[in-house]
Amino acid sequence: MVYFNVPPCTGDEMAFIEQAIQNHKICGDGPFTKQCNAWLETRFSAQKALLTTSGTTALDMALLLCDLKPGDEVILPSYTFSSTATAPVLAGANLVFADIRPDTMNMDETRLEEAITDKTKVIIVMHYAGVACEMDTIMDIARRHRLIVVEDAAQGVMSAYKGKALGTIGDFGCYSFHETKNYSMGEGGALLIRDRIYNERAEILREKGTDRSKFYRGQIDKYTWVDIGDSYLPSELNAAYLWAQLLKADKINENRMDSWNRYYEALKPLADQGKIDLPAVPDGCIHNAHMFWIKCRDLKERTELIDFLKTGGGVFRISLYSAAQCSGGEKVWAVQWQ
Ligand SMILES: *Cc1c(COP(=O)(O)O)cnc(C)c1O
């Protein structure tokens, strides 16, 4: 049996959660949150990392920091998770969907420029399955048109593009630590900020529109409501769980890569015969084995394959045989394993 997803657990999570309880600090921004932020900053050479309550709220924060006005346009890929779209909608912008490329399923950088108008303010890219978008081209287009780039790197923690960690290339990077992602805290995420001019407003948005973060650092003697905001701080209990995961980040990554490579080798003969398509990892991209996907030739074959895999008692069962039954038509339908 191959389960769709097994939440990662290293064995140290309970001890850290107990420590948080014994510290009498279970709300946000305690020692575990700070350690996680610092780990992300160091490991990925990020100017600033702030844990959030989810990948979705990291995106919400990023789009609020873009300071959008009604009528502004945000370009995003046509193939992505709903949170990539809800964040700009909540920030008051209009959505413009850009086409994707068939090999990586990422935004097609050669079609991006045609989506830009004089109302465009932001480009959101999403690194599908932890494989990077063509960031050199995208950043060049963004710079020429003076656009902000937000990376939805929810699936891309520990992935890199030409030596740079995903999430650190654009103006903002958004990670998810949801149960289904490579590193987890149950529900959670992080916002990465490239330019320090955004740090102060990010802290305020995250702390219910108050300057409480400054107060805790002793920079002001009382805190007050200064801006819009929300509560984007995760509990220390969740951060303690994540801390255990980050300490074993390389081990978790190697384990996933082993599985990914095994799927790839096993399914490659079918791809060579033209029966299915496998994920492409372009030169310069280091991926994190976030998920393994295949593309069947059409909806009918995909439906049959999924139905067959489901006969394994409600969980997906990899079957080379059923995939081998594929025949004819255009390959556009994806099945994915995480
Ligand atoms: C998981 C995911 C999100 C949302 O993350 P949550 O932590 O579940 O809110 C956003 N974008 C993409 C591409 C994702 O895969």
- Pocket test residue of 51, 53, 59, 83 for ligand 1, highest count of atoms within 8 A of CB: 83
Q: What is the DSSP letter of 207?
A: B
Cα of 277 vs centre of ligand 1, distance in Å, is: 25
Is the Cβ–Cβ distance between 257 and 131 less than 8 Å?
no
- What stretch of H or E contains 286? strand 285-286
The per-residue pLDDT for 270 is 94
Q: What is the DSSP letter of 94?
A: E
List residues near ligand 1 (CB under 6 A): 54-56, 80-81, 83-84, 126, 152, 154-155, 176, 178, 189
Task: Report the distance separating Cα 335 and Cα 315, nearest Å.
Answer: 13
Write down how long the chain is.
338
Cα of 321 vs centre of ligand 1, distance in Å, is: 32
Structure-token pair, residue 215: 């107060």
- Beta-carbon contacts of 120 under 8 Å, excluding residues fewer than 6 positions away, are 72, 73, 74, 75, 96, 145, 147
pLDDT by residue, tens only, the chain of 338 residues: 667 778 888 999 999 999 999 999 999 999 999 999 999 999 999 999 999 999 999 999 999 999 999 999 999 999 999 999 999 999 999 999 999 999 999 999 999 999 999 999 999 999 999 999 999 999 999 999 999 999 999 999 999 999 999 999 999 999 999 999 999 999 999 999 999 999 999 999 999 999 999 999 999 999 999 999 999 999 999 999 999 999 999 999 999 999 999 999 999 999 999 999 999 999 999 999 999 999 999 999 999 888 887 786 544 444 333 332 222 233 334 555 54
Is the Cβ–Cβ distance between 288 and 157 less than 8 Å?
yes
**How open is the CA angle 283-285-291, to the nearest 5 degrees?**
120
- Beta-carbon contacts of 19 under 8 Å, excluding residues fewer than 6 positions away, are 240
Q: Contacts from 66-71 at CB under 8 Å and sequence distance 24+?
A: 66/91, 66/121, 66/122, 66/148, 66/150, 68/92, 68/93, 68/121, 68/122, 71/119
Structure-token pair, residue 39: 């780990």
Q: Which residue has the tokens 């080798």?
A: 265
- What stretch of H or E contains 337? strand 333-337
Q: Which residue, among 106, 110, 63, 104, has the nearest Cα to 83 in the 3D structure?
A: 63
Task: Report the distance separating Cα 227 and Cα 37, nearest Å.
Answer: 23
Is the Cβ–Cβ distance between 138 and 163 less than 8 Å?
no
- Pocket test residue of 60, 178, 179 for ligand 1, highest count of atoms within 8 A of CB: 178
Q: What sign for the dihedral angle of Cα 3, 8, 14, 15?
A: positive
Which atom of ligand 1 is nearest the CA belonging to 59?
10
Cα of 67 vs centre of ligand 1, distance in Å, is: 22
Instruction: Write phi, then psi, for 51 (nearest 5 degrees).
Output: -65, 145
- Beta-carbon contacts of 150 under 8 Å, excluding residues fewer than 6 positions away, are 59, 62, 63, 66, 122, 123, 124, 125, 170, 171, 172, 173, 174
- Identify each DSSP E strand in 93-147 by its residue range: 94-98, 120-126
Domains in the chain with CATH codes: 13-248 (3.40.640.10), 250-337 (3.90.1150.10)
